[in-house]
């Protein structure tokens, strides 16, 4: 070996084992700040990921899912890593102050810190990378297999358990405030009193079921809706769910309505009632174990509801357990006997003055004319206080002349024995007789449907099958016609409005009346719960019936054959999952035009189907159908709907249905084969629905014969105007797919599907990859220009802006969402492309987007914009130039999250002042270098001393931008702002602000200065969390211009938590400027520097406080001791008081005082080690070192206490 080789080897060894370690060691000492900054960055990234997956975790918990072990381990490791990193950074901060008077950190500490920080940064980085796999519910959790294997909820599990009546910390609202609120909201005094009584009954721990009963039309459902609204506003329960039961109990629908309100989204994916029931049961049990109070509202019970079959926990006697029920029924016996009602209320008609007010409100000023006045009294006398009647008559009389009033009133006779139902029937007959024949037919179809909330889409399909829409050329025209007819029927009060946009209801009274009238000419049968013997009933009535509906009744005794030769429409809805349709059902139904079957098994080939030559509409839902080919015999079929059903193949025989106009195969998840040519044969098809269903499309050109349907077959459908379809493989999309005639569509292309927050009638979703040329295809260009809801993911071509994607522009686009598209730098960089209808703009993970528009003038193209949401767009520094805000007059919501370079929302230019008159929601989160909303620099602010001026960075500064209608402000992790408002805010700003949430803003030392209090005239909710420097929430500042009267803030709920340096919630002097007498709920937790909660002046204002929670704070006394006369503290509305882990707490108030708690029901004192005596009379002699927690005058100070 040569000398050079030896030297080289020696040098390598020396370098590897001596020089490099020394360099690394010096690097640890010299660059410890760099290691600290990297660690902080990795910590923030992991925090962002934790926050993101926590949303998924909360959804999983809501759906009673079990977490995967991988996710559970990751979550635990992430929490541990973040805590260790926080401790490490805290140690570093301390170490930097130990050498040279704090200017030079101790080298040894730097070295040790840097090594630990490097290791910890790598661990946290790996945790962040692992989190990328957690993108959906199924990635972090799974449904307990026990739910899927259970036949039905097991009542034996509940035997032996006591009925749970307790709803700790639940209380009714203030009697006075509730009554006033109801009257202000247009609720009559008698109804307000009833609501107050209902809420008191629900607040009583001895009641688990509360009911309302009364005749039809008296307003039970309306009263229930008003009660629910107040309960939600007052937060009397943690969770409130509501369902309409109706005469025909559709268990699946009831389950879905309850689950939707409880956040149990998994339930809709389950087919079987028993599995759904177990999911819902599990959800309610979880909420009970978490001590959440739950109210379930069940409206319109005609008979007892089997709670076990729905999934509501109950005992063997059908008595609810673990939650509370609020029910309505016409029959008091149903409430008491079948549902175990503990307290019920009878609802009668309106008082005379209330009825008059309702009538006058609807008819208008006409009632005050001398010629009409006498007839108002006559009308009200005939309506007998029934709201349904009053409204129906008022709608007719509003635009009628005096002669029509007189003629109508003569026709309506009031019975001496006050038979209100007969009177209602007369009123309904009068309205019914004025309808056109097609409107009567629609109303009869609503009755045949059998439930109070018919589906508009199903009515269209049934109506087409029955031939109800004359002179209508397309299905879409029929849909428009039906919507118009519904509006006419709503105007006449024969149909009622619904909360849904296109929804409506039919009142039980109307359904009964129409059924009786229609049966005289065209007999129809809707089976009711009162029909005891189905078999005997059918023998008597079926033969002459033209319409039959069996809506969710017990089908165990259903006959094996139906003799109904005149039948035109047959609707069979069943809750019996094992129900099978015999071959003989349809032997005598030659005239049948519409057939609907749900939750049935068509196992054997239903041969009689081929006899149904007049069948136009066939709807199968939640069915299993082995022999789909038999449907090819139905040559006259126009509407075929097979949804949520178990079919694997659509055979060639379906191609024989050449008259078919609508084909719906939605949510048939097992459908994998559509034989080639089937779709191409349906040349008259107008609407095709295949979402969440078939996706195995063949390419148009294959070297071998195709085995499945191809998209090119759609070109044969010359009338196709509605298309809902999923194409996971973009390569199968043909070049010449004809989509120009489409007027409604939902087309999703690519392997990832997303859930949009917005809906449109023309939705296009493109999930692209780098090799995709799909945007150049003519069919995509044809629909881009008329799409109103567009989702784009994976753009990485030559286009730098969205406007460059469409040759025809985006004249109809309302909602745009763009994700993970590196090529995009701007949304618009052309003066020729306009987004004049764009209402929502959502941008996520666009790494190269710098601005929304390349030039200020291009913002004019967004003048309809309402919502802007931006996430993880790290090159964007500012959202809008100030001048552009003038072009956005309808802007309602701004949300910016996790953008590393954002410094301002608005950039200054020469525009002057701008008013964001429609902005309601502003949410900013995790913006590391954010400075303030508007870049005017730091703000000089007069300090408390007249000779000192401070400069602080305010979130809202200057007067260039006004916020007259902002309602919600959410700011989190903005660590550069030192105050929220400066003293230069525009006078009209923030007067509508209702909710303020501040989280992890670590330079804030206060939240609300007293100079801004007079602007916050609507603030109801304030939540402050984890602000490391915060010392006071409401800070007093001397003001020069005061009118001598403190303002009354409307604040109802105050929550503070994890504020380690908080010394005061309120400054003592604040009482001269503001009062807080509207507070209903206060929660303070983990504020270790807080020694007392209330100044005496604030405590005396809390006349409406209902709930007070204090947890893990340094509080020694709840109310701060002040000099003056002996105070008396009265909390007249406080029902719940929780004092948890207050290790220093000794008493309510250290000096002499008295306290009175007349409404207190629940007192929870735990972990308060220095509290030795709970309560004592004032006159009792007590050692100075043993003051009780409460000093009271009388034992009646706790008269209502039920839970200690």
HEC secondary structure over 1135-1192: CEEEEECCCCCCECCCCCCEEECCCCCEEEEECCCCCCCCEEECCCCCCCCCCCCEEE
Average pLDDT on 355-364 reads 80
Q: How confident is the model at residue 126 (pLDDT cuts 50, 70, 90)?
A: confident
DSSP string over 855-878: SGGGGGGGTT--EEEEES-TT--E
> If you search the block for the tokens 């165990």, which residue do you land on?
556
Tell if the pTM clears 0.75, that is, is over it: no
Q: How confident is the model at residue 771 (pLDDT cuts 50, 70, 90)?
A: low
Q: How confident is the model at residue 101 (pLDDT cuts 50, 70, 90)?
A: very low
Q: What is the pLDDT of residue 931?
A: 87
479-483 long-range CB contacts below 8 Å, 24 or more apart? 482/442, 482/456, 483/456
Q: 3-class SS at 492?
A: coil
Residues 861-870: tens digit of each pLDDT: 788 999 999 9
Answer whether residue 84 shows pLDDT above 90. no
Q: What is the pLDDT of residue 718?
A: 93
CA dist., res. 322 & res. 287, Å (int)? 9
Q: 3-class SS at 571?
A: strand
Higher pLDDT, 832 or 1094: 1094
Mean pLDDT in the chain?
Answer: 80
Specify whether the CB–CB gap between 470 and 438 falls below 8 A. Answer: yes
Q: How confident is the model at residue 162 (pLDDT cuts 50, 70, 90)?
A: very low
218-221 long-range CB contacts below 8 Å, 24 or more apart? 218/347, 218/348, 218/349, 218/386, 218/387, 218/388, 219/191, 219/347, 219/350, 219/387, 219/388, 220/299, 220/300, 220/328, 220/347, 221/299, 221/300, 221/328
Higher pLDDT, 872 or 555: 872
As given in the structure block, the two tokens for residue 1006 are 């206060």
Average pLDDT on 1189-1202 reads 63
When mean pLDDT is compared across 283-297, 465-479, 761-775, the lowest value belongs to 761-775
All structural domains of the chain with their residue ranges: 31-142, 147-346, 351-423, 435-522
Q: What is the pLDDT of residue 107?
A: 67
Average pLDDT on 801-825 reads 88
For the sheet containing 904-907, what is the strand order? Answer: 878-881, 904-907, 932-934
Q: How confident is the model at residue 219 (pLDDT cuts 50, 70, 90)?
A: confident
Q: Which residues are bridge partners to 246 per DSSP?
A: 301
**What's the angle, vertex CA 614, arms to CA 610 and CA 619, rounded to 5?**
75
Q: What is the pLDDT of residue 949?
A: 31
When mean pLDDT is compared across 752-756, 914-918, 1065-1069, the lowest value belongs to 752-756
**What's the angle, vertex CA 793, arms to CA 789 and CA 798, rounded to 5?**
110
Q: What is the pLDDT of residue 288?
A: 85
How many other β-carbons are positioned within 10 Å of the β-carbon of residue 398? Answer: 11
When mean pLDDT is compared across 171-175, 466-470, 476-480, the lowest value belongs to 171-175
CA 579 to chain centre: 35
Q: How confident is the model at residue 250 (pLDDT cuts 50, 70, 90)?
A: confident
CA dist., res. 345 & res. 125, Å (int)? 62
Q: What is the pLDDT of residue 398?
A: 75
Q: Which residues are bridge partners to 803 per DSSP?
A: none
Q: What is the CATH number of domain 147-346?
A: 3.40.50.300
Answer whether residue 1192 shows pLDDT above 80. no
Higher pLDDT, 901 or 706: 901
Q: What is the pLDDT of residue 834?
A: 73
Q: What is the pLDDT of residue 110?
A: 67
Q: What is the pLDDT of residue 499?
A: 63
Q: How confident is the model at residue 482 (pLDDT cuts 50, 70, 90)?
A: very high
CA dist., res. 1137 & res. 1110, Å (int)? 8
CATH of 435-522, one of 3.40.640.10, 2.30.42.10, 3.40.50.170, 1.10.10.2260: 1.10.10.2260
Q: Is 990 left (phi over 0), alpha (psi -120 to 50) or beta?
A: left
Average pLDDT on 538-549 reads 76
Average pLDDT on 718-746 reads 91
Specify whether the CB–CB gap between 781 and 816 falls below 8 A. Answer: no
> What percent of the chain is modeled with pLDDT above 90?
27
- Helices 373-383 and 402-411, axial angle in degrees (round to 10): 30
Q: How confident is the model at residue 765 (pLDDT cuts 50, 70, 90)?
A: very high
What is the DSSP code (8-state) at residue 611? G
CA dist., res. 1184 & res. 668, Å (int)? 77
Answer whether residue 384 shows pLDDT above 90. no
Q: What is the pLDDT of residue 2?
A: 58
Q: Which residues are bridge partners to 296 per DSSP?
A: 241, 325
Higher pLDDT, 525 or 1136: 1136
What is the DSSP code (8-state) at residue 502? S
Average pLDDT on 931-960 reads 58
Which residues have a Cβ under 8 Å from the Cβ of 505 and sit 6 or more positions away?
452, 453, 495, 496, 497, 498
Higher pLDDT, 1106 or 501: 1106
CA dist., res. 673 & res. 707, Å (int)? 8
Q: What is the pLDDT of residue 182?
A: 37
Answer whether residue 392 shows pLDDT above 80. no
CA dist., res. 205 & res. 163, Å (int)? 11
**What's the angle, vertex CA 756, arms to CA 754 and CA 759, rounded to 5?**
135
Answer whether residue 278 shows pLDDT above 80. yes
């Amino acid at each position: 070996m040569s000398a050079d080789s030896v030297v080289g080897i020696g040098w390598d060894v020396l370098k590897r084992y001596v020089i490099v370690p020394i360099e690394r060691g010096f690097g640890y000492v010299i660059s410890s700040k760099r290691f600290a900054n990297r660690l902080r960055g990795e910590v923030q990234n992991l925090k962002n990921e934790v926050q993101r997956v926590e949303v998924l975790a909360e959804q999983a918990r809501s759906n009673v899912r079990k977490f995967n072990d991988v996710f559970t381990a990751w979550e635990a490791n992430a929490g541990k890593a973040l805590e260790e990193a926080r401790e490490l950074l805290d140690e570093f901060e301390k170490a930097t102050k130990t050498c040279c008077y704090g200017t030079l950190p101790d080298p040894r500490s730097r070295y040790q810190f840097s090594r630990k920080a490097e290791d910890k940064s790598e661990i946290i980085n790996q945790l962040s990378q692992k989190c990328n796999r957690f993108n959906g519910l199924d990635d972090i959790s799974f449904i307990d297999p026990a739910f899927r294997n259970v036949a039905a909820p097991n009542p034996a599990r509940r035997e032996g358990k006591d009925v749970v009546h307790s709803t700790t910390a639940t209380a009714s609202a203030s009697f006075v405030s509730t009554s006033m609120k109801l009257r202000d909201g247009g609720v009559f005094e008698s109804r307000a009193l009833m609501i107050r009584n209902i809420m008191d009954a629900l607040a009583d721990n001895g009641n688990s079921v509360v009911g309302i009963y009364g005749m039809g039309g008296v307003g039970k459902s309306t009263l229930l809706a008003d009660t629910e609204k107040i309960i939600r506003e007052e937060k009397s329960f943690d969770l409130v769910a509501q369902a309409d039961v109706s005469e025909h109990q559709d268990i699946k629908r009831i389950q879905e309505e309850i689950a939707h309100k409880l956040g149990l989204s998994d339930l809709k994916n389950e087919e079987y009632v028993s599995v759904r029931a177990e999911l819902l049961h599990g959800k309610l049990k979880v909420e009970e174990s978490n001590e959440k109070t739950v109210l379930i509202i069940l409206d319109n019970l005609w008979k007892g509801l089997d709670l076990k079959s729905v999934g509501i926990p109950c005992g063997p006697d059908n008595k609810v357990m673990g939650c509370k029920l609020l029910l309505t029924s016409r029959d008091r016996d149903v409430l008491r006997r079948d549902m175990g009602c503990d307290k019920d209320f009878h609802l009668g008609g309106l008082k005379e003055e209330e009825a008059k007010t309702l009538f006058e409100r609807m008819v208008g000023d006409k009632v005050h004319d001398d010629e009409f006045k006498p007839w108002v009294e006559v009308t009200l006398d005939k309506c007998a206080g029934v709201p349904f009647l009053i409204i129906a008559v008022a709608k007719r009389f509003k635009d009628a002349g005096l002669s029509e009033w007189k003629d109508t009133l003569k026709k309506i006779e009031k019975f001496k024995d006050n038979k209100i139902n007969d009177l209602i029937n007369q009123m309904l007959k009068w309205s019914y007789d004025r309808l056109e024949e097609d409107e009567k037919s629609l109303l009869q179809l609503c009755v045949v449907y059998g439930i109070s909330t018919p589906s508009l889409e199903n009515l269209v399909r049934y109506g087409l099958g029955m031939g109800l829409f004359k002179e209508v050329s397309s299905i879409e025209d029929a849909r428009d016609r039906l919507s118009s007819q519904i509006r006419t029927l709503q105007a006449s009060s024969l149909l009622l409005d619904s909360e849904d946009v296109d929804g409506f209801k039919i009142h039980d009274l109307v359904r009964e009346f129409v059924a009786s009238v229609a049966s005289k000419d065209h007999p129809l049968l809707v089976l009711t719960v009162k029909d005891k013997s189905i078999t005997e009933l059918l023998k008597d009535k079926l033969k002459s019936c033209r319409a039959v509906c069996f809506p969710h009744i017990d089908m165990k005794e259903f006959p094996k054959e139906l003799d109904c030769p005149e039948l035109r429409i047959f609707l069979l809805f069943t809750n019996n999952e094992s129900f099978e349709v015999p071959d003989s059902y349809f032997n005598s139904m030659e005239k049948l035009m519409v057939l609907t079957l749900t939750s049935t098994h068509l196992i054997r080939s239903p041969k009689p189907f081929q006899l149904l030559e007049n069948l136009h509409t066939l709807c199968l839902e939640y069915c299993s159908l082995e022999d789909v080919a038999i449907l090819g015999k139905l040559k006259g079929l126009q509407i075929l709907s097979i949804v949520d059903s178990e079919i694997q193949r659509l055979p060639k025989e379906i191609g024989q249905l050449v008259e078919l106009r609508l084909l719906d195969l939605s949510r048939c998840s097992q459908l994998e084969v559509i034989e080639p040519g089937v779709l191409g044969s349906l040349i008259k098809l107008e609407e095709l629905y295949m979402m969440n269903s078939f996706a195995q499309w063949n390419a148009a050109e294959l070297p071998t014969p195709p085995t499945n349907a191809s998209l090119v077959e759609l070109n044969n459908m010359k009338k196709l105007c509605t298309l809902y379809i999923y194409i996971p493989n973009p390569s199968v999309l043909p070049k010449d797919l004809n989509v120009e005639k489409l007027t409604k569509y939902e087309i999703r292309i690519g392997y990832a599907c997303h859930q949009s927050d917005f809906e449109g009638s023309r939705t296009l979703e493109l999930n692209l990859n780098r090799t995709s040329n799909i945007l150049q295809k003519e069919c995509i260009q044809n629909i881009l220009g008329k799409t109103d809801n567009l989702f784009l993911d994976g753009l990485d071509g030559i286009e730098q802006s969205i406007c460059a994607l469409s040759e025809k522009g985006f004249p109809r686009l309302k909602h745009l969402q763009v994700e993970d598209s590196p090529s995009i730098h701007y949304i618009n960089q052309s003066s020729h492309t306009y987004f004049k209808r764009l209402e929502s703009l959502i941008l996520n993970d666009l790494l190269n987007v710098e601005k929304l528009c390349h030039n200020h003038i291009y913002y004019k193209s967004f003048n309809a914009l309402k919502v802007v949401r931006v996430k993880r767009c790290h090159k964007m520094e500012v959202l809008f130039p100030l001048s552009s805000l003038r072009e956005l007059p309808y802007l309602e919501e701004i949300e910016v999250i996790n953008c590393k370079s954002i410094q301002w929302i608005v950039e200054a230019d020469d525009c002057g002042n701008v008013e964001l008159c429609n902005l309601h929601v502003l949410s900013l989160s995790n913006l590391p270098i954010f400075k303030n909303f508007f870049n005017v620099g730091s703000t000089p602010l007069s300090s408390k001393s007249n000779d000192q001026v401070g400069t602080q960075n305010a979130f809202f500064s200057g007067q260039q931008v006004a916020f007259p209608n902002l309602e919600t402000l959410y700011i989190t992790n903005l660590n550069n702002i030192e105050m929220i408002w400066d003293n230069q805010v525009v006078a009209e700003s923030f007067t509508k602000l209702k909710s303020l949430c501040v989280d992890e803003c670590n330079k804030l030392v206060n939240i609300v200065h007293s100079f801004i209090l007079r602007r916050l005239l609507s603030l109801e909710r304030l939540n402050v969390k984890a602000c490391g420097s915060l010392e006071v929430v409401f800070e007093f500042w001397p003001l020069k211009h005061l009118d001598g009267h403190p303002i009354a803030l409307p604040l109802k709920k105050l929550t503070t938590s994890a504020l380690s340096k908080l010394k005061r919630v309120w400054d003592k002097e604040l009482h001269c400027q503001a009062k807080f007498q509207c507070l209903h709920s206060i929660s303070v937790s983990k504020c270790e520097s807080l020694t007392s909660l209330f100044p005496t002046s604030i405590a005396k204002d809390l006349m409406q406080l209902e709930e007070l929670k204090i947890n893990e704070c340094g509080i020694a006394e709840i109310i701060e001791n002040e000099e003056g006369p002996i105070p008396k503290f009265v909390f007249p509305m406080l029902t719940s008081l929780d004092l948890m882990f207050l290790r220093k707490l000794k008493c309510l108030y250290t000096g002499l005082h008295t306290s009175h708690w007349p409404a207190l029901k629940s007192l929870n004192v735990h972990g308060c080690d220095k509290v030795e005596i709970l309560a004592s009379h004032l006159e009792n002699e007590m050692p100075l070192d043993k003051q009780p927690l409460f000093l009271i005058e009388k034992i009646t100070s706790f008269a209502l206490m039920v839970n200690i």
